[in-house]
Structure 1
Amino acid sequence: MGAAIQLNRLGYQKIAILDREDDLGGTWHVNRYPGLTVDVPSTTYSYWFEPNPYWSRLYAPGSELKTYADHVADKYDLRRYMRFNTTVEGARWDEETRHWLVSLVTGETLRTQFLILATGYLCQPKKPDIPGIEDFAGTVLHAQDWDYGYSLKGRNAAIIGTGSTGVQLIPKLAEDVSELTVYQRTPIWVMPKLDFPFGPAAQRLFAKFPATQQFLRMSSDAFMDVMVTIAMWKFRQFRPVNTAAAKIGALHRFLAIRDRRLRRQLTPGYDFGCKRPTLSNTYYRTFNKPHVHLETAGIERIEPDGIVAKDGTKRVIDSLVLATGFDVWESNLPAIPVIGREGRDLGKWWRENKFQAYEGLTVPLFPNLITQASPYAWVGMSWFDTVEYQMRHMNRLFGELQRRGADTFEVTEEANAAFLQRMETLLEDSVFRLGNCANSRSYWFNSSGEAPLFRPQSIRQAVKEQATFPLSDYAIA
């Protein structure tokens, strides 16, 4: 949607937005599980150019993000471009016509001058490979495909997964079920959540005087940007800040859980920042309830009526909840087969030559291709910061294309290699390189132990570079 808004500003009107789902919103349309909220302030999780004065609280529930997405689509007249229930099979650059051919599963082929991959990092749910899971006789609920028609009231349930989704789900599940067993593979850093409602008076103030909400956003943006930069990217220089964050997490755990053994089981064995942290004031306290049980031995197998742990203990259950995250590296980067010039397969090339993309957007031998969820693209913690710096890059790049009356752009091999080298050098100071991340099992790392999702810079620096990158880094013709 952000890319389409930017293209409109540049005068492009012939746009098709292809979406495999039945409505817009991406994550905030697909995910509807109980307890779903943003884990960065709502004021930050929105476009700078389109603030929303009507958030109900600082950390808004997921339904409000879906409403916001609908509002943006309507205000900027984007629905006219959208084709829902449309699954893309793959894309190939046609050298003869100098266009992209986009194949749909229906057999239809679309021809386009420019192709933008806006599939997100977290769009391919990961199902656990556990022996016997297909034989479970009870009801299986997927966090990314929640069935509100099934009641968990009074059920004997288990949940697999304690990532950010699990942290939000577990307290809600505990409110309904008679017994809840939580299967944890890796503890997560959970920080206290400073949350508060925005009442009608605050909403009216934000709507009438937008500068008040802008000030709140500037404050939350600056705080998050500074903390991520010094705690993660400048770990070498500011290790005590990372340690302080870990101590806050430890104090939060101590105040919520009095049982030493339970507290030890929930304590991460890796440095803060190696794995996606999250915020909750209810997660730890949930484990104090007598009907909530934590299992950390690992799962041996699933039987029709329950789960057998590796220590031989068995929990009889009738409902199984899967909060096992997404497959980022194997089936999502890229999310579809993409073949560029000289037959280069983007996924194969990335896996054989390191994940890389110039400014987190373009790749050599892939003319007129913008890939938004790509290596070194994610800056800060709010995805909107990433989208907006990318919109700035598109504005400058497509503007130059129009100024020259040209048809194609392609980043040069030299510029791409120099950017990759710079990102890898910056990462040498990060918690990913210098911290203890071996036991984190973080999706931020690929199978080679690299962590190329994040752009290891401040948001301010990433934005600034979009106005200064050399246009000579592109071959424009």
Structure 2
Amino acid sequence: MAPRYDAVVVGAGFGGIGAAIQLDRLGLGDYVVLEREDDLGGTWHVNHYPGLAVDIASVTYSYSFEPNPHWSRLFAPGAELKKYAEHVADKYDLRRRMRFGTEVRGARWDDNEQQWEVSLADGEVLTSRYLLAATGFLSQPYTPPFPGIDTFEGKIIHTTAWEDDFDVTGRKAAIIGTGATAVQLVPELAERAEALTVFQRTPIWVVPKVDAPIPAAVRTLFERVPATQQVARMVNTTMLEALMVIGVLHFKQAKPLNRAAGLLAKAHLRTSVRDKRTRRELTPHYDFGCKRPTFSNAYFRAFNRSNVRLETSSIERITPRGIVTADGTETEIDTLVLATGFNLWDVNFPAIEIIGRDGTDLGKFWRDNRFQAYEGITVPKFPNFLSLNSPYSYSGLSYFTTIEAQMKHMGRLFGELVRRGETTFEVTERANTEFLDRVTDKLGSSVFYGGDCSTARSYYFNQHGEAALLRPNSTVSTYRHAVSFPLDDYRYGATSIPEVPSA
């Protein structure tokens, strides 16, 4: 029985959009993109809290093949990222292949028919030759199980479910969390709330944000001479590479650069916050890069306001009218803002149940046998499956580096399928093991294993203490691998044939 679709793509964020564009380029135009939300854009559709902006310069946080000369600022606000996603989808005619409000419950490989069966929440089952999971790294919001949270009588709002008409003016608010989202949101809340208490479990490294409006003349230049924007992209990418690849991934060889980044952040803190005790509490006690750093010129200064207080005692329970910390102090509030991030390793890898060859459950496979994916995109025992947000796939600091590397990998892999006249592929155990050994060895030089990350509580680390998210390569190296990986790292044709061990 022929499958209904060439491919099913799960997720209509930037990863899914990139995958769809590449499927069209490869001649696999009979596909469907399934999205649980009511529109495309992924995180830039779901998130619209005050102060939302990209934390990577816009010229880099975008597709290299689809530059946008109209960014209003160096770090564009979230609404412009959403608009950019809509522009790309419309230009490449993707909307007609998208189904919104469609929740995927799971997918199972049918070895007899050599196809995927994708089950939807409404009971419908779709069949496809290929399955592409583009559910993103930050798609499963997390709310810690604080005792008593169900008894709170005030307003509770999670940053991923922000209500545009919600006004914090005059309220006694608390925000739990001090990650990248809180860094953007705290200054906005501080401007309006009568009182704001920031509950911090782990301080975050914050460096100055070199942000400014992009003059109309520059935007016009980018539009008329695209090469100028390409140069700007190259310069910014090079700076990010120095920060991430050298200072973080090559920590052992480049400790001075990592230390310099930490000193810059500490100097930024010292010149921004007046109170000595607050500065001390906002200072991380782990090496720069253990937890994703962020950029802001307003976060630290918010703590100089008389209506803002930093609370570092752990939360014991939530009462109907406030929050009680471990020292017995109760902070009375009427509004609780949850900037508690996302659950990557328990429910996001993978975000849906995926059953491969021989009944192998992907989530169980990863947890029993280490989180792993060959070149950050394919997994043994999962034929015709591409995981676009996988362990060891995130390269550099811009998500678009990862997306475009995976698009290139798809191009090489499917090109070989066509050359062989086959329709089925599966990465070999040998190739997957060799890749896992290489990245594990390379990460031994990173700050994650060579530095002090004991107090970071970073989402880079999984529940086994492995830093299994980032790929230890430069952007150039990642792209080179994507177009030159050995073609015999895959088996082609019927997947029921067992792999022949190498001599």
Equivalence map 1:247-396=2 (5 Å): 247-396=263-412
Query: Do 1:44 and 1:382's aligned partners in 2 also have CA atoms closer than 8 Å?
Result: yes
Give the 3-state SS of the residue equivalent to 2:465 in structure 1.
Answer: coil
Taking structure 2 as the reference length, the TM-score comes to: 0.94
- Equivalent-residue separation in structure 1 for 2:412 and 2:483 (angstroms): 7
Q: Counterpart amino acid of 1:136?
A: F
Output one character per residue of 1:33-62: Cα deviation in whole Å (capped at 9) or x when no partner.
000000000000000000000000100000
Equivalence map 1:407-418=2 (5 Å): 407-418=423-434
How many residue pairs align between the two structures?
477
Task: Give the CA deviation at 1:315.
Answer: 1.0
Task: Give the CA deviation at 1:226.
Answer: 2.3
Q: Does 205-214 or 324-333 show the bigger shift?
A: 205-214
- Equivalent-residue separation in structure 1 for 2:388 and 2:457 (angstroms): 25
2:15 is the counterpart of 1:24: no
Equivalent residue number for residue 214 of structure 1: 230
- Equivalent-residue separation in structure 2 for 1:426 and 1:129 (angstroms): 36
2:258 is the counterpart of 1:242: yes
- Equivalent-residue separation in structure 1 for 2:167 and 2:21 (angstroms): 41
Give the 3-state SS of the residue equivalent to 1:114 in structure 2.
Answer: strand
Equivalent residue number for residue 4 of structure 2: none
Equivalent residue number for residue 160 of structure 1: 176
Residue from 440, 445, 464 that aligns with 1:448? 464
- Equivalent-residue separation in structure 2 for 1:159 and 1:229 (angstroms): 32
- Equivalent-residue separation in structure 2 for 1:358 and 1:226 (angstroms): 25
Equivalence map 1:435-474=2 (5 Å): 435-474=451-490
- Equivalent-residue separation in structure 2 for 1:46 and 1:150 (angstroms): 30
Task: Give the CA deviation at 1:325.
Answer: 0.1
Output one character per residue of 1:53-85: Cα deviation in whole Å (capped at 9) or x when no partner.
000010000000000000000000000110000
Task: Give the CA deviation at 1:222.
Answer: 1.1
- Equivalent-residue separation in structure 2 for 1:40 and 1:149 (angstroms): 28
Give the 3-state SS of the residue equivalent to 2:161 in structure 1.
Answer: coil
Q: Counterpart amino acid of 1:355?
A: F
Task: Give the CA deviation at 1:200.
Answer: 1.7
Task: Give the CA deviation at 1:472.
Answer: 0.3
Q: Counterpart amino acid of 2:366?
A: W
2:104 is the counterpart of 1:88: yes
Taking structure 1 as the reference length, the TM-score comes to: 0.99
Q: Counterpart amino acid of 2:481?
A: E
- Equivalent-residue separation in structure 1 for 2:178 and 2:245 (angstroms): 26
Task: Give the CA deviation at 1:223.
Answer: 1.2
Give the 3-state SS of the residue equivalent to 2:397 in structure 1.
Answer: coil
Structure 1 unmatched runs, 5+: none
Output one character per residue of 1:236-273: Cα deviation in whole Å (capped at 9) or x when no partner.
10011100000000000000112111100000010000
Give the 3-state SS of the residue equivalent to 2:160 in structure 1.
Answer: coil
- Equivalent-residue separation in structure 2 for 1:408 and 1:48 (angstroms): 30
- Equivalent-residue separation in structure 1 for 2:442 and 2:320 (angstroms): 50
Give the 3-state SS of the residue equivalent to 1:307 in structure 2.
Answer: strand
Equivalent residue number for residue 130 of structure 2: 114
- Equivalent-residue separation in structure 2 for 1:467 and 1:117 (angstroms): 21
Task: Give the CA deviation at 1:212.
Answer: 1.1
Output one character per residue of 1:361-394: Cα deviation in whole Å (capped at 9) or x when no partner.
0000100000010011000010001000100000
Structure 1 runs (4+) greater than 6 angstroms displaced? none
Output one character per residue of 1:2-51: Cα deviation in whole Å (capped at 9) or x when no partner.
01111111111101000000000000000000000000000000000000
- Equivalent-residue separation in structure 2 for 1:311 and 1:207 (angstroms): 58
- Equivalent-residue separation in structure 1 for 2:407 and 2:359 (angstroms): 28
- Equivalent-residue separation in structure 2 for 1:187 and 1:227 (angstroms): 19
Output one character per residue of 1:317-349: Cα deviation in whole Å (capped at 9) or x when no partner.
111100000000001100001000011100001
Query: Do 1:161 and 1:322's aligned partners in 2 also have CA atoms closer than 8 Å?
Result: yes
Residue from 103, 119, 124 that aligns with 2:119? 103
2:218 is the counterpart of 1:223: no
Equivalent residue number for residue 79 of structure 1: 95
Query: Do 1:123 and 1:326's aligned partners in 2 also have CA atoms closer than 8 Å?
Result: yes
Give the 3-state SS of the residue equivalent to 1:449 in structure 2.
Answer: coil
- Equivalent-residue separation in structure 2 for 1:437 and 1:127 (angstroms): 23
Output one character per residue of 1:289-311: Cα deviation in whole Å (capped at 9) or x when no partner.
01100000111111011111111
Q: Counterpart amino acid of 2:394?
A: W
Give the 3-state SS of the residue equivalent to 2:262 in structure 1.
Answer: helix
Query: Do 1:226 and 1:458's aligned partners in 2 also have CA atoms closer than 8 Å?
Result: no
Q: Counterpart amino acid of 2:321?
A: D
- Equivalent-residue separation in structure 2 for 1:467 and 1:284 (angstroms): 43
Kindly report the root-mean-square deviation, in angstroms, between the aligned alpha carbons of the 2 structures: 0.6
- Equivalent-residue separation in structure 2 for 1:210 and 1:96 (angstroms): 50
- Equivalent-residue separation in structure 2 for 1:229 and 1:149 (angstroms): 41
Give the 3-state SS of the residue equivalent to 1:113 in structure 2.
Answer: strand
Q: Counterpart amino acid of 1:357?
A: A
Task: Give the CA deviation at 1:468.
Answer: 1.4
Q: Does 460-469 or 34-43 show the bigger shift?
A: 460-469
- Equivalent-residue separation in structure 1 for 2:397 and 2:203 (angstroms): 20
Q: Does 43-52 or 256-265 show the bigger shift?
A: 256-265
Equivalent residue number for residue 10 of structure 2: none
Task: Give the CA deviation at 1:199.
Answer: 2.2
2:78 is the counterpart of 1:58: no
- Equivalent-residue separation in structure 1 for 2:410 and 2:113 (angstroms): 23
Equivalent residue number for residue 142 of structure 2: 126
- Equivalent-residue separation in structure 2 for 1:468 and 1:34 (angstroms): 43
- Equivalent-residue separation in structure 1 for 2:240 and 2:467 (angstroms): 20
Equivalent residue number for residue 13 of structure 1: 29
- Equivalent-residue separation in structure 2 for 1:19 and 1:226 (angstroms): 36
Q: Counterpart amino acid of 1:388?
A: E
- Equivalent-residue separation in structure 1 for 2:391 and 2:194 (angstroms): 44
Query: Do 1:125 and 1:326's aligned partners in 2 also have CA atoms closer than 8 Å?
Result: yes
Q: Percent identity?
A: 57
Give the 3-state SS of the residue equivalent to 2:39 in structure 1.
Answer: coil
Q: Counterpart amino acid of 2:144?
A: P
